[in-house]
Each structure stands twice: as C-alpha cells, then as structure tokens.
Structure 1
C-alpha cells in the first residue's frame, strides 16, 4: 500500500494537466542537403533542404537526426547539417497569392516594412508578446505575428 500521503500526492499529480512538451527546433546549415528515408547514407533521398530551412527534431540515432518540416514531411538528416539557431517559415496563406505583413514594431498597427508569401524563411532574432522579430536573407528585418509562422 502506498499510504494516505502517497495517495494524495498521486491524485494531485494525475489531476494536473500535462504541460505541453517543448518542441525541439533547428535549421539546416547548407544548401542542397539530403533528407533521407532512414538514418544512413544507404537510404533513399526523399527531399532536398536548403540553408536556413527550419525543422522540428523528432529523434536521433547515432549521427542521424529524424526531422519534420512545416508541411509534415519527415526524414533523416546527418547531425552535422543541423544547427540549433532558430529559423521560422511562413505557414499562412498556403495555396494563395496573399502575403503576410512584416511590420516595423510588434503590433498590428505598425507600419508594414515588407511582405512575405507562404514558404519564405526567416532567421529569428527575438520574440515579444506573440510576435517574432525576423531577419530575411536579403537583410530586411521586422516583426511578424507568431501565429503566421511555423517554428514559433
């Protein structure tokens, strides 16, 4: 028997909602990196990834990392091709020509400094109140509502 105190502790632990697991994000370090169907060079290349492309880390096996992209495709990449520097990708407006606004400050009323379409990759600089300060490879910086990005 676990006793009265043990029972109370068990009830308390089980009644607390499980905290959401932190997502382990990374990005690809070079262009034209192979994502493979399994953890090893002998496995088929199923996708090519470019520098900065954000991925979620699912697991590791030896020198290989299982990753998932923002559209749900998963595969394996060598660990030397992964960087823990966070990047984000525009997930809003898939299949449309609509673009999201990149703003001068982290609020909906701030001036628009640029726009970006679905699939555009940004380096993450910082976050504030649900907004992400981003840097585009061409040098543009600004703020994007985090709900429009994958990797946030």
Structure 2
C-alpha cells in the first residue's frame, strides 16, 4: 500500500512530466518531425529583402511580421519539415520557409546598444590597441569571415563600392555564440 507522501510524490512527478511534455509540444509542431538534423539553435541570415514571419509552419498561418533586410542574422530555434522557427535580435519569433534563409553568417554590431553607445571601432588587428579601420554604429550588419572565440574578422560594405574588413570583439556581436569559432 502506498502512503500519502508517496502518492503526492508520484502525483507531483506525473504533473511535472505532463508540464514538460506540454512545453515540448508547444516548441515543436504536431508530429514533432524535424528538418535537417543540423544543430538547433544555430545562426543563419535572411536571403532576401522580403521574408514573411508566420505564426506557424505553413503558408496557411497568418503573417505576423515582414522582415525587409537581406543579410539580417537570425537564430534557428526549431525545425519542422521545410519550415524554420527563428528568433531575431529583439526576441521576435516565428516561422519562415527554409528557402528564405542562407547559411551565410552575418552579425549585428551591438543591437542592444542602439542610441546608447558611441560607435564601435573596427580594428585592423585582433588587439584593442591596433589601428581603427572604421567606426560602426550599433545595428550595422557585418559579414563574418571568421571568429576565434574572442575576436571576429568581419567585412562591412561601406558605400556600395568599397568593402572594409577588420576585427571586432566577439561579445560586441549578435549572430555568433560566446566562444564560438568560425573558420
């Protein structure tokens, strides 16, 4: 015979299990079918200047937002067949068709500091005392050429005709994970 304490423990575990299963079901669409088998989460970028962010993983779902910035980094947080659940730097989440995403790595310069931070220096070497190549405003999109876990080499298209590449500290970028290395 099970005592009251044991019954409460079993009941609490059952409720916790249901809560965990419910939370997982909300993360993954019905059926739980995944897409590529690549690591989730991971960063990618928007392929085009117009990407519909939908409330669910099909064209039948309402468009909640329209991104209008090709190259914008986003984080894939779930996959379902040909759909990817993404999150942007402001925390907005929704579903996009995989063909609207690119594996090209980009990052935003300190988007959390817009209007609060002076320009960030793009340096000619991965050293705080090196020469300044350019000053970047928070929110600028950079193309990632590589990261060593502390510094990233990035490229910026300055005026449509001239590219500038240099180094920025990795923790000043949204679109790369802390200590992530990219070759």
TM-score by structure 1 length? 0.79
**Which structure carries more helix by proportion?**
2
| Alpha-carbon distance between aligned partners in 1 of 2:128 and 2:117, rounded to the nearest angstrom | 21
* Per-residue deviation, 1:42: 2.2
| Alpha-carbon distance between aligned partners in 2 of 1:29 and 1:39, rounded to the nearest angstrom | 18
RMSD of aligned residue pairs (Cα, Å):
1.8
| Alpha-carbon distance between aligned partners in 2 of 1:100 and 1:81, rounded to the nearest angstrom | 30
Larger Rg: 2
Alignment of 1:103-118 (within 5 A): 103-118=123-138
Q: Residue 63 of structure 1: which of 65, 82, 103 is its match?
A: 82
| Alpha-carbon distance between aligned partners in 2 of 1:34 and 1:151, rounded to the nearest angstrom | 20
Aligned partner of 1:123 in structure 2 is: 143
Aligned partner of 1:88 in structure 2 is: 107
Aligned partner of 2:92 in structure 1 is: 73
| Alpha-carbon distance between aligned partners in 2 of 1:94 and 1:35, rounded to the nearest angstrom | 23
The secondary structure found in structure 2 opposite 1:136 is strand
Q: Which ranges of 4 or more aligned residues in structure 1 deviate by more than 4 Å? A: none
- The unaligned stretches of length 5 or more in structure 2 are 1-38, 177-183
Q: What do the CA deviations read for 1:56-75 (whole angstroms, capped 9, x no partner)?
A: 11111121100001111111
TM-score by structure 2 length? 0.66
Relative to structure 1, the CA distance from residue 24 to residue 90 in structure 2 (aligned partners, 3 Å threshold; closer, same or farther) is same
